[in-house]
Amino acid sequence: MKEILITGSAKMANILTADRRAMVLMPRFGIDMGFGDKTVKEICREKKIDPDFFLLMVNVFLHPHHFPDKKLQNTDPDLLLTYLANSHDYYIREKIPSLKALVDELLEKLTFPVKDQLFKFFTDYIEEVLEHIDYEEKTVFPYISDLVSQPNPIVSTRWSTGYNIRLFEEKHDNIEVKLSDLKNLLIKYFPPAEDRYLRIRILNELFDLEQDLIDHARLEDKVLIPIVRQLEQNKTQP
C-alpha cells in the first residue's frame, strides 16, 4: 500500500487526529496545540519554521519506509541539530518523568524480589539514556556546530584534539534495543496481579519510547553522520 505523504496544504489538526504519534513532534518545532483549521504552511509561516524541513521530518517520522536520502543529506545541519536537541528535551522533561511516575506507582504495589528487579532494570536503562544524551549534547553537537560555523577547522578545539564523527559512530550504540529486557520483564516474568492496567500503560509508554528512539537513531545514523562526514571532508580539502 502506497504511503500518503503530508503536504503543506494539510490541516495540522487532521495530521494529529490521523496519527497520534505526530503529537510528540509539535514541541520539537515550538508548536502548541489550539491551531484551529490552519494548514501546515500557515503555521510554519507564523512560527518562522522552514516548511520543507518540517514536512521532511514529519513524513520521515510517521512513515518509516519514507527516507529520501538526497533531500535528507542536503538538510541544513543547524536545523537538524535543533530538531535533535529538542527531541532530547522531550525525553528529559516529558517522556522519562512520565514513565518514571508510572513505574514508581507500580513499584509501590510490588513485593520483593520483583520490585528490586524492576527498579534496577528501569534505573539502569534511564541512566544509560541520559548518559547517551549528555554525550551528544556536550561533545557531538558542539563539534558539529564548530564545523558549520568555523571556516578553519583548526580553530575548533575538538577538531585540533583529533575528534571526528567516526568516534561518535563507533560509540553510537542503539540504546532502544535494551528496552527489550525491561519489556520482557513486564510481559513474561512478572506474576499476574491487580496492576494489569497500570502494567499495560507502562508497556504502551515503553513501546512508544522505543519507536521514537529508533527513529531518532535512524536520523543520526543515516542523515547526521553522512552530513558531518561531508563537512569534515570539505574542511580538509585545500
Per-residue pLDDT tens for 136-173? 999 999 999 988 887 555 555 555 557 888 888 887 77
Q: Contact 189/161 with Cβ under 8 angstroms?
A: no
C-alpha to C-alpha distance for 227 and 14, rounded to whole angstroms: 33
Mean pLDDT of the region 53-71: 82
What is the domain range of residue 20? 12-66
Would 24 be classed as within a structural domain? yes
- 238: pLDDT strictly greater than 60: no
Q: What's the mean pLDDT when you consider all of the chain?
A: 86
Residue 82 sits in the same domain as residue 122: yes
Would 3 be classed as within a structural domain? no
Residue 114 sits in the same domain as residue 144: yes
217 in helix, strand or coil? Answer: helix
Residue 98 sits in the same domain as residue 178: yes
- What is the per-residue pLDDT across 163-199, written as a single tens digit (0 to 9) for each? 888 888 887 776 777 788 888 888 888 877 777 899 9
Residue 157 sits in the same domain as residue 224: yes
Q: Contact 233/83 with Cβ under 8 angstroms?
A: no
> pTM of the full predicted structure?
0.86
> Which pLDDT score, from 0 to 100, does residue 222 have?
81
C-alpha to C-alpha distance for 138 and 101, rounded to whole angstroms: 27
- 101: pLDDT strictly greater than 60: yes
Would 5 be classed as within a structural domain? no
Residue 172 sits in the same domain as residue 147: yes
Percent of the chain's residues with pLDDT above 90: 41
